[in-house]
Homo-oligomer: A and B are copies of this chain.
């Protein structure tokens, strides 16, 4: 493995993880108040720089591929991983297009999420203040009188993203971060270290040329750096693990920093007794076979007992045509002509391939009970023509996405119209379900007064708050 010895050079060689994180925090402070045109100009510079640096990028990628090719034994990469790792002309073009498409998204920052007039009057001023007020009028021409609160979207600060063998993850994540005014620290998988280093070098140069600190996009290499990052809860505002269930669970268990992501997607489709059979078959087929490795693919189908004898054999036939391996509870197995016993943990399994479990339930309530017991609060769908059943399912099932007569595969940022997807969250906090640029923002309350003090609003003789929302403004 001589190729592996080629050193990977970057700022990560000379700076500690702490220094990198501190520099990222400083860069984030400068990035946050930048106007949208400035942030978009940085994205355009990044796109152009990538186009201009293709030779260096392909050279770095060739080194990664050479190392990958020299691996032996357990370390040998799958064909799929090698394909993801390889940077092609087409892939680089797509990466550049993706940066420009993030640029075209609406600005997630500075949106007014709420606006309340707390009082419509200014406090009385003493005579000595008249001169000051006169000075003020020149500067402050958009100011209205009174006390006003606005809730404004702002960036989170510093993101740490831990990902695997994809070169395109570097440019996509960097673009999302810059668009949303966040600094980002990237930790790529070992396989893609040389390509990631070359990409980050190009992006940093582009940022600097636009007068933005290169520390807005940083790289760290090596597994020990992950643990250092996870401990920095005063510098890193969010960790986004993009990878295997094992990686996500490791990150969740080893940091106090909020984690955006999901460890698993065990999605269900419940076929009600009032289901349209054709819809049920179409939707299950799509939800299982459209992209079985996706987290929003279906893993378990629950069928109402009243229609099971008719429906389950048809489902089994359709699934077998599509090459799906089936499991089932004792009743479903009989209906599907299966001999094999139900695997242990079959109901908790994210198969991630053409494999699926079928269960028979006596009622909607039992179906929901099964989903709550075994599901991962990701995406759950009901197939029924009974509007009451549909509404109960949509209302009562606790999951990030709930669907009626539609494939679980629609739970996706692009399909929901968010433009770009940061990930899918099964947390109930901050961002739930498919997460777009908004998931990389928080908000702050901005209060504008003219010397207003809380003591004036105290007790029976105190002033009363007006609490008018913008829509109710006079």
A positions within 8 Å CB-CB of B:
29, 32-33, 116, 118, 123, 125-126, 128-129, 132-133, 135-136, 139-143, 147, 149, 154, 156-157, 237-238, 252-253, 256, 258, 274, 276-279, 282-283, 285-287, 290, 372, 385-388, 390, 392, 394-396, 398-407, 409-412, 415-417, 427-430, 432-434, 442-455, 457-458, 465, 467, 469
Contacts and interface: CB of A to CB of B under 8 A. Distances in A.
A283 B407 contact: no
A363 to B, nearest CB: 15
A448 B404 contact: yes
A290 B454 contact: yes
A454 B29 contact: no
Contacts of A287: 453-454
A390 B279 CA distance: 59
A387 B156 contact: no
A133 B385 CA distance: 8
A454 B398 contact: no
A135 to B, nearest CB: 6
A276 to B, nearest CB: 4
A393 to B, nearest CB: 10
Nearest to A416: B149
A453 B286 contact: yes
Contacts of A123: 282
A118 B410 contact: yes
A449 B411 contact: no
B398 A453 contact: no
Contacts of A404: 446-449
A405 B449 CA distance: 5
A276 B129 contact: yes
A243 to B, nearest CB: 20
A473 to B, nearest CB: 13
Contact of A453 (B409, B446, B448): B409
Nearest to A447: B403
Nearest to A131: B276
Contacts of A142: 387
28 contacts: A118-B415, A125-B278, A132-B276, A139-B385, A139-B386, A140-B387, A147-B406, A149-B416, A149-B417, A258-B258, A258-B429, A276-B451, A279-B451, A286-B454, A398-B444, A402-B445, A402-B446, A403-B446, A403-B447, A405-B449, A406-B448, A406-B451, A407-B449, A407-B452, A410-B454, A417-B467, A429-B429, A433-B445
Given A445-B400, A447-B406, A457 B415 contact: yes
A268 to B, nearest CB: 14
A8 to B, nearest CB: 33
Contact of A396 (B29, B401, B448): B29
A445 B434 contact: yes
A230 to B, nearest CB: 13
A32 B252 CA distance: 27
Nearest to A258: B429
Contacts of A450: 279, 405
Contact of A253 (B147, B256, B428, B442): B256
A387 B455 CA distance: 25
A405 B278 CA distance: 65
Contact of A385 (B32, B132, B157, B403): B132
Given A432-B443, A442-B429, A136 B451 contact: no
Contacts of A258: 258, 427-429
A385 B276 contact: no
A32 B125 CA distance: 50
A273 to B, nearest CB: 12
